[in-house]
């Protein structure tokens, strides 16, 4: 029987990067279950869409019947669970979807995974893994001099988004301890790189700067995040899936703490060099401070020593190398950018899947 992994949310930013990375490195088949909300984009996976061991299924993780049928038909050896609502601003304005997808959806997926796992042979049960992808935001906010988050840091979520992810993390932990389901959880810092939907800081700044539009910076711009290049994250997930210990959590970080204003200024400087003919140069003239978001966490930082020590993973990109690669990707993929920002992709989905 051909070995298969089930990836949920595989048309999103991190999920699609992971599938592309996985298909380039592994011989295992991939089934990609994605609801195709606004942030899901099948064009991210165009380069592998015709490959035999890859299959896309449009569906909702909250649909227990559909998930059950998928487990029965595909018989995956592992689940890699990315599917989530993930944008803090959206969670503030509309928390319902976040609770539904991140909490109820994870519960539905765990229940169906548990039922499927219970029916496997002893050797198949031994090999099965349920890997849940989470975030550093579940830990809350750090002061300027606080040590970084580690795997035993107390949860203290401050937004509807982070609270819903914390709820999902607790469910995954409970299913391991109560039912013995072989689960793994990773908590990552801020990702950036190719295919990121342009509501997030880095692609938003790149695209606005190129078009001479204001570069919005919340509050005083001093909020600090740890930045992780998405391909490094994908390598870490593969490492945890193959060598992680059941029931454990692993923090994944880039060792790149940066203030938001630093990020924006770095992008501006690189664009000055790479795009000297843009409408407004130097690009940093476009920086505009805007009213801070409610409950904006001041600082996140990740202590990734556990995964480095126990599993041998380390990030390969510095922020300086990763941000240059990211900007180059957006400059070289203008058709993707135009389609995503113009909404024509959404119309294509509506026609394709109506």
Candidates 107, 92, 87; CA nearest to 37 is: 87
**Residues facing residue 81 across a β-bridge:** 8, 132
Q: Which residues are catalytically annotated?
A: 136-137, 161
Candidates 137, 310, 168; CA nearest to 239 is: 310
Both structure tokens of 46: 């165009």
Helix or strand holding residue 191 (H, E): strand 190-192
Candidates 220, 212, 231, 292; CA nearest to 259 is: 220
The three-point CA angle 29-31-34 to 5° equals 155
If you write DSSP's letter for every residue of 207-248 in order, what string do you get? HHHHTT--EEEETTS--EEEEEEHHHHHHHHHHHHHHPPTT-
Candidates 65, 78, 80, 77; CA nearest to 112 is: 65
Radius of gyration of the chain (CA): 20
CA atoms within 13 A on the CB side of 120: 22
């Amino acid at each position: 029987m051909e070995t298969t992994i089930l990836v949920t949310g595989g048309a999103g930013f991190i999920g699609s990067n992971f599938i592309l990375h996985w298909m380039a490195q592994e011989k295992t088949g991939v089934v990609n279950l994605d609801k195709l909300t606004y942030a899901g984009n099948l064009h991210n996976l165009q380069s592998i869409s015709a490959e035999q061991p890859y299959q896309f299924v449009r569906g909702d993780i909250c649909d227990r019947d559909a998930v059950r049928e998928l487990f029965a038909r595909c018989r995956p050896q592992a689940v890699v669970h990315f599917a989530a609502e993930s944008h803090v601003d959206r969670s503030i304005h509309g928390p319902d979807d976040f609770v539904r997808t991140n909490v109820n959806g994870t519960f539905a997926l765990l229940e169906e995974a548990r039922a499927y796992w219970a029916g496997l042979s002893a050797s198949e049960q031994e090999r099965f893994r349920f890997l849940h992808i989470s975030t550093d935001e579940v830990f809350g906010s750090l002061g300027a001099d606080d040590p970084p988050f580690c795997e035993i840091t107390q949860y203290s979520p401050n937004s509807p988004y982070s609270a819903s992810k914390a709820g999902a993390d607790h469910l995954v932990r409970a299913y391991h301890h109560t039912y013995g389901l072989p689960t793994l959880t990773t908590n990552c810092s801020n990702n950036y790189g190719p295919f990121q939907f342009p509501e997030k800081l880095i692609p938003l700044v790149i695209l606005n700067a190129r078009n001479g539009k204001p570069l919005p910076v919340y509050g005083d711009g001093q909020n600090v995040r740890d930045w992780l290049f998405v391909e490094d994250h994908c390598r870490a997930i593969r490492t945890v899936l193959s060598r992680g210990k059941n029931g454990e959590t692993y923090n994944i970080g880039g060792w790149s703490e940066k203030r938001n204003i630093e990020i924006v200024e770095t992008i501006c400087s690189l664009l000055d060099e790479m795009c000297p003919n843009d409408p407004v140069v130097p690009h940093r003239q476009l920086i505009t401070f805007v009213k801070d978001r409610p409950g904006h966490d001041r600082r996140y930082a990740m202590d990734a020593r556990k995964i480095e020590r126990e599993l041998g993973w380390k990030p390969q990109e510095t922020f300086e190398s990763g941000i240059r690669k990211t900007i180059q990707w957006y400059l070289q993929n203008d058709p993707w950018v135009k389609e995503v920002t113009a909404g024509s992709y959404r119309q294509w989905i509506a026609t394709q899947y109506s």
